[in-house]
């Protein structure tokens, strides 16, 4: 089965995408690409990502990953993705987004739904920019029109009702024992917590199915934006110990690492990082413990993140950060379980800042690393663990769904549980009970995942 799963991966990622739209901004150095891998069910979906090393090939990789993700969580649509090569911290970021969305307005109006991703906030960036550029009430309108309304002659009232429900759900305030919201915000929203909550739930479900207690498990989190931050927070709520986290540094190309073998205060760090542009705060901040070690270094020399003993790893930074040396470092640290918060976390063989000249070679490079990692670790794939926000949209698009935070998060947890159950059902079982054999290592989950959801 592992061989079959990776054969399906190769076939899926080698197939040419249906459409790639390229863009060169006339008012800045920004470049952009929209990849629609396929129109499935008359629509395609995938968020908007902005960073200064984005590439056309990254958009293709991510669009194809989104296609698998929708097989997991619904709706039955194709994968797509926007990647913008531009510094998301630039003063004219919102102007660049406005011009980009105006450029792809025909797709947004009929088939393509988007949202937030690396460098782009769902509520603060994507929604207002799309409204201003296209007149659409929500970034997901294209999916609603193309997939849910196309067989009803696009009834405007029905479409608007669905859009209103989606927006209400995504922007619903989340109650409960959460970190203090960042300055200027009264509440955390579903859009802030959904993906991280899903990653944490996927890891929790994995441990439950293996009859193991997640309490006391030591966690390393790479990337402390919304996904990594709330994954860390929810895992800490379950009793896991967050021993090391990283985020982008204050300067481009740098990383800040916080290490505390006794456990970082995840909730305090969530608030502090959101107040600091979603980057870990500087040394001396009250969110750190007295014995916390803080390291600022170049991104290429961030190996200190893995120099602490741990059990669980959460890649939640940019795509393609895990290369062969990092696999060795993770294995040495004692890591046995991954929950992938980042899409396509495996290195594609291209150095940062360079275009991929050979797409097939990049896929093969990723595949080689994936096969190696799949033998060493139990990896909950990105298209399962990172599907929280996609599932939230799918839930809200169905008539009769409740747009409350409780309803969205309950549906998300149920969807994640079902996907992990399906993933784990493919591993060896005991001869007498037919239940998963806890003595067998739960490796090959990546390959089994592609077999389960692409087969």
Residues 366, 438, single domain; the answer is yes
Residues 155, 216, single domain; the answer is no
Residues 94, 241, single domain; the answer is no
Instruction: Label residue 437 by pLDDT band (50, 70, 90).
Output: very low
Question: 176 lies in a domain?
Answer: no
What CATH number does the domain containing 297 carry? 3.40.50.720
Residues 197, 272, single domain; the answer is yes
Question: 90 lies in a domain?
Answer: yes
Mean pLDDT of all residues belonging to the chain? 91
Task: State the pLDDT at residue 430.
Answer: 46
- Phi then psi for residue 40, to 5 deg, are -115, 125
Question: 180 lies in a domain?
Answer: no
Average pLDDT over residues 109-120: 94
Per-residue pLDDT reduced to its tens digit, 44-66? 999 999 999 898 988 999 999 99
Residues 229, 294, single domain; the answer is yes
Residues 251, 151, single domain; the answer is no
Calculate the alpha carbon distances from 60 to 19, 364, 421, 447 in Å: 9, 15, 29, 20
Per-residue pLDDT reduced to its tens digit, 390-413? 999 999 998 889 999 999 999 999
Residues 321, 270, single domain; the answer is yes
Task: State the pLDDT at residue 362.
Answer: 87
Instruction: Label residue 439 by pLDDT band (50, 70, 90).
Output: very low
Point out the least confidently predicted range of 91-105, 232-246, 286-300, 347-361: 347-361
User: At residue 151, does pLDDT exceed 60?
Assistant: no
Burial 12-26 (b: 16+ CB within 10 A, else e): bbeeebebbbebebe
Task: State the pLDDT at residue 159.
Answer: 84
Point out the least confidently predicted range of 108-112, 160-164, 197-201, 437-441: 437-441
Task: State the pLDDT at residue 425.
Answer: 85
Per-residue pLDDT reduced to its tens digit, 83-93? 999 999 999 99
Domain that holds residue 370: 188-454
Per-residue pLDDT reduced to its tens digit, 293-308? 999 999 878 889 999 9
What CATH number does the domain containing 20 carry? 3.40.50.10860
- CA gap 83, 60 in Å, rounded: 9
Residues 245, 113, single domain; the answer is no
Torsion sign, CA atoms 13, 388, 310, 222: positive
**Strand 218-222 to strand 241-248: parallel, antiparallel, or no bridges (unpaired)?**
parallel
What pTM was computed for the model?
A: 0.91
Residues 372, 324, single domain; the answer is yes
Taking Cα atoms as reference points, which of 184, 230, 173 lies closest to residue 385? Answer: 230
Instruction: Label residue 179 by pLDDT band (50, 70, 90).
Output: very high
Percent residues over pLDDT 90 in the chain:
78
- CA gap 37, 18 in Å, rounded: 5
Highest-pLDDT range among 38-52, 136-150, 154-168, 421-435: 38-52
User: At residue 2, does pLDDT exceed 80?
Assistant: no
Residues 410, 290, single domain; the answer is yes
Question: 179 lies in a domain?
Answer: no
Calculate the alpha carbon distances from 149 to 7, 40, 45, 108, 431 in Å: 35, 14, 15, 14, 49
Domain end (from 171, 197, 217)? 171
**Strand 112-113 to strand 188-189: parallel, antiparallel, or no bridges (unpaired)?**
unpaired
Average pLDDT over residues 168-194: 94
Domain end (from 143, 171, 199)? 171
Task: State the pLDDT at residue 53.
Answer: 86
Per-residue pLDDT reduced to its tens digit, 227-260? 999 999 999 999 999 999 999 998 888 999 999 9
Calculate the alpha carbon distances from 69 to 110, 148, 302, 343, 411 in Å: 21, 18, 29, 10, 16
User: At residue 1, does pLDDT exceed 60?
Assistant: no
User: At residue 431, does pLDDT exceed 80?
Assistant: no
User: At residue 152, does pLDDT exceed 60?
Assistant: no
DSSP string over 321-376? -B-HHHHHHHHHHT--EEE--SSS-B--S--TT---S-HHHHHHHHHHHHHHHHHH
Task: State the pLDDT at residue 351.
Answer: 55
Query: Is pLDDT larger for residue 156 or for residue 115?
Result: 115
Question: 240 lies in a domain?
Answer: yes
Cis previous bond, 75, omega within 30: yes
Point out the least confidently predicted range of 213-217, 314-318, 356-360, 431-435: 431-435
User: At residue 382, does pLDDT exceed 50?
Assistant: yes
Domain count, the chain: 2
Question: 113 lies in a domain?
Answer: yes
Residues 110, 208, single domain; the answer is no
Task: State the pLDDT at residue 256.
Answer: 96
Torsion sign, CA atoms 437, 316, 46, 130: positive
In the chain, helix, strand, coil percent, each to 5?
45, 15, 40
Question: 215 lies in a domain?
Answer: yes
Per-residue pLDDT reduced to its tens digit, 121-133? 988 999 999 999 9
DSSP 177: S
Q: Which two tokens stand for residue 207?
A: 């441990």
Percent residues over pLDDT 70 in the chain:
93
Instruction: Label residue 354 by pLDDT band (50, 70, 90).
Output: very low
Instruction: Label residue 353 by pLDDT band (50, 70, 90).
Output: very low
User: At residue 15, does pLDDT exceed 70?
Assistant: yes
- Phi then psi for residue 312, to 5 deg, are -125, 140
- CA gap 227, 210 in Å, rounded: 25
């Amino acid at each position: 089965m592992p061989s079959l799963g990776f054969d399906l991966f190769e076939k899926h990622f080698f197939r040419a995408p249906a459409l790639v739209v390229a863009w060169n901004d006339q008012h800045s150095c920004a470049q952009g690409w929209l990849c629609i891998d396929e129109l499935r069910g008359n629509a395609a979906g995938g968020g908007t990502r902005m960073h200064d090393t984005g590439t056309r090939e990254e958009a293709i990789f991510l669009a194809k990953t989104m296609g698998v993700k929708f097989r997991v969580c619904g709706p039955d649509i194709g994968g797509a993705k926007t990647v913008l090569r531009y510094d998301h911290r630039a003063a004219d970021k919102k102007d660049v987004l406005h011009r980009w969305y105006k450029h792809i307005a025909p797709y947004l109006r009929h088939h393509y739904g988007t949202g937030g991703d690396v460098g782009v906030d769902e509520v603060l960036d994507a929604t207002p920019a799309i409204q201003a550029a296209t007149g659409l009430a929500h970034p997901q309108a294209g999916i609603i029109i193309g997939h849910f309304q196309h067989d009803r002659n696009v009834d405007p009232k029905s479409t608007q009702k669905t859009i209103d429900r989606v927006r209400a759900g995504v922007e619903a305030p989340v109650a409960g024992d959460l970190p203090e919201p960042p300055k200027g915000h009264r509440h955390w929203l579903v859009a802030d917590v959904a993906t991280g909550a899903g990653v944490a739930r996927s890891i929790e479900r994995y441990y439950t199915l293996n009859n193991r207690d997640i309490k006391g498990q030591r966690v390393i989190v790479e990337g402390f934006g919304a996904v990594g931050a709330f994954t860390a927070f929810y895992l800490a709520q379950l009793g896991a110990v967050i021993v090391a986290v990283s985020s982008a540094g204050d300067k481009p190309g740098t990383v800040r690492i916080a290490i505390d073998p006794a456990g970082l205060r995840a909730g305090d760090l969530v608030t502090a990082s959101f107040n600091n542009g979603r980057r870990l705060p500087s040394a001396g901040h009250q969110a750190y413990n007295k014995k916390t070690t803080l390291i600022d270094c170049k991104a290429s020399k961030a190996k200190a993140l893995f120099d602490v003993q741990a059990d669980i790893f959460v890649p939640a930074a940019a795509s393609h950060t895990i290369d062969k040396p990092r696999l060795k470092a993770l294995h040495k640290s004692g890591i046995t379980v991954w929950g992938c918060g980042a899409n396509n976390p495996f290195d594609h063989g291209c150095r940062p800042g360079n275009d991929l000249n050979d797409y097939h070679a990049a896929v093969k490079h990723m595949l080689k690393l994936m096969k190696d990692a799949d033998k060493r670790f139990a990896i909950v794939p990105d298209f399962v663990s990172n599907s929280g926000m996609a599932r939230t949209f799918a839930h809200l698009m169905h008539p009769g769904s409740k747009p409350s935070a409780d309803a969205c998060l309950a549906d998300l947890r149920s969807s994640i549980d079902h996907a992990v159950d399906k993933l784990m059902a493919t591993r060896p079982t005991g001869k007498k009970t037919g239940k998963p054999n806890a003595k067998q290592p739960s490796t090959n989950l990546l390959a089994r995942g592609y077999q389960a959801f692409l087969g």
